[in-house]
Amino acid sequence: MAPTRILYIDDDEGIRRPVWRALTRKGYEVSLAASGAEGVAMVEAESFDLCAVHHYMPGMDGLATLEALRARPACPPIVYVTGSEESRIAVAALKSGADDYVVKSVGEDFFNLLASSFEQVLERAQLRLDRERAEADLRISNARLEALLKEVNHRVANNLQMVMSFIALQARMLTDANARDALQQTQQRISTIAHVNRRLYTSDDVEYVAMDEYLEGLAADLAATWSTEDCERQVRAIVAPLKLATDKAVALGMIVNEWVSNACKYAYDGGPGEVRILLAANDGHLELVVEDDGNGWPEGGAARGTGLGTKLIAALARPHRAEIRYGQTHADRARPGTRAIATLPLKTGDTNEP
């Protein structure tokens, strides 16, 4: 292993030579400079593991030398040496970038103190270097992981698209209207999940889903699914610019799919109408609302249809501690409409908002 290279900068010939002898005996490879300018020139020409700079030097003093050394692209650690015990000099040196300082004196104690300071400074420098290398390796690893996750999401989205194509093909072969309707709903549920995967592999963020973009795309997809040439279904998303963790985004998207599909089927008796999706965060909670201006919630509160959608919503809400409520959109109209609300707490990691 090569010895540690030290550059000692001091105008005092009477101290430079003893420093050279003492540090050489301790295993260092020591070079000497008689002025700040000479020391800076040597650092520009050679590679050193550490520099020691004396404060009191004519012309270019220690602080000016320190400043010039710190301006170098690969400045080694610096120990500041001063014959003064004035704290202001030490503070000025440390503020200017010195890694440590030693008060100069005569005798073996000074050499031992200098060597001890070198050991501590070099150890700290190695720790910094190790940390920087680890952080660089981590950044590379994270970049590779993000690329892998994007590829996985891309493939999952493609596979889900293929499954939806199979279901659509199967539906066209059926003569039973109820069976076709069930397959159509299954296809839309799969599409809701596929929307998330598409958002993840086309985004720079592979952990969180931009809910405004996601729900706007889902609203357009649902409107196209439930609209016909004779009856248009308008589905609007009014969503705050909020990013949610993938699992929560999928759960909310599935709930939206069930509520919007139910409104499109039953709210307007087969006629045209609008369904609105609203999402906002407030006071540590997230509130999702799907509302229409149609016939209102059925008497007795029983959902129409097979009831599978209601069971799915309950299953999706449970892991996220979501409270589900139903009520009227309008209290003063002949057609009160239906308002479905999911309120759930936001935990650390649910969003990437500051």
Question: Residues 272-319: pLDDT tens digits?
Answer: 889 999 999 988 899 999 999 998 876 655 556 557 778 889 998 999
Q: Give the residue with greater pLDDT, 84 vs 170.
A: 170
Collapse the DSSP code of 272 into the 3-class scheme (helix H, G, I; strand E, B; otherwise coil) and give the result: coil
Q: Give the residue with greater pLDDT, 312 vs 198.
A: 312
pLDDT above 90: residue 23: yes
Within 10 A of 144 (CB to CB), how many other CB atoms are there? 10
The answer to whether residues 249 and 284 touch, using CB atoms and an 8 Å cutoff, is: no
What's the confidence (pLDDT) of residue 345? 92
Give bridge partners of residue 101 from the DSSP assignment. 80
Poorest-pLDDT segment among 145-159, 191-205, 334-348: 191-205
What's the confidence (pLDDT) of residue 117? 93
Q: Give the residue with greater pLDDT, 189 vs 67.
A: 67
| Rounded percentage of the chain residues whose pLDDT exceeds 70 | 94
Measured between alpha carbons, how far is residue 99 from residues 41, 51, 96, 115, 150 in Å? Answer: 21, 10, 9, 14, 43
pLDDT digits (tens, 9 = 90+) for 113-169: 999 999 999 999 899 889 999 999 988 888 887 787 778 777 877 887 788 788 888
Band (200; pLDDT cuts 50, 70, 90): low
Q: Give the residue with greater pLDDT, 152 vs 223.
A: 223
End-to-end CA separation in angstroms for the chain: 48
Output the pTM of the full model: 0.57
Select from 1, 46, 24 the least CA-distant residue to 114. Answer: 24
Report phi then psi at 346, rounded to 5. -95, 130
- Residues in contact with 131: Cβ distance below 8 Å, sequence separation at least 6, in sequence order: none
Q: What is the mean pLDDT of residues 176-192?
A: 80
Burial class (CB in 10 A: 0-12, 13-18, 19+), 212: middle
